[in-house]
Amino acid sequence: MSVNTSNAYGKISISDLSIAKVASHTAMECYGIVGMVSRKFTDSLSELLKKGGGGKGVKVTTSGNRIYIDVYVIVKYGVSISAVADSLKEAIKYKVEKFTGMIVQSINVNVIGVKL
């Protein structure tokens, strides 16, 4: 699916994959995030076989002009998970809304593991 909008110049369509790539890149820039992981083994396998993959560890769902994001991360040992998650949510919300011009309705942060 994709997010669609239109203005005086025409129609704009942004794919879920491009939104996922922005969210994934933003997450890797956040302090305390060590890596991104897929939800299931089959997702990991399909990402290995994809060319030019991106958006690893991010699931984007769109409905109308609303965006729902699920992020699957590995957090650095010793940091406050709640502080990292809050910072991650704010950063992703800001970057995706700036990128798309649409509203991010919700961001769910799923901590899959902790790495030393």
Neighbours of 56 (CB within 10 A): 19
Domain ranges of the chain: 2-115
Rounded mean pLDDT, 81-93 = 96
Rounded mean pLDDT, 45-74 = 77
Cα dihedral 52, 95, 15, 67 sign: positive
Burial class (CB in 10 A: 0-12, 13-18, 19+), 29: exposed
Per-residue pLDDT at 55? 72
Rounded mean pLDDT, 96-106 = 91
Residue 45 has pLDDT above 50, yes or no: no
Taking the C-alpha atoms of residue 7 and residue 38, their distance in angstroms, rounded to an integer, is: 36
Q: Which CATH architecture has domain 2-115?
A: 2-Layer Sandwich (3.30)
Rounded mean pLDDT, 78-85 = 95
Rounded mean pLDDT, 69-81 = 95
User: 34: pLDDT confidence band, cut at 50, 70 and 90?
Assistant: very high
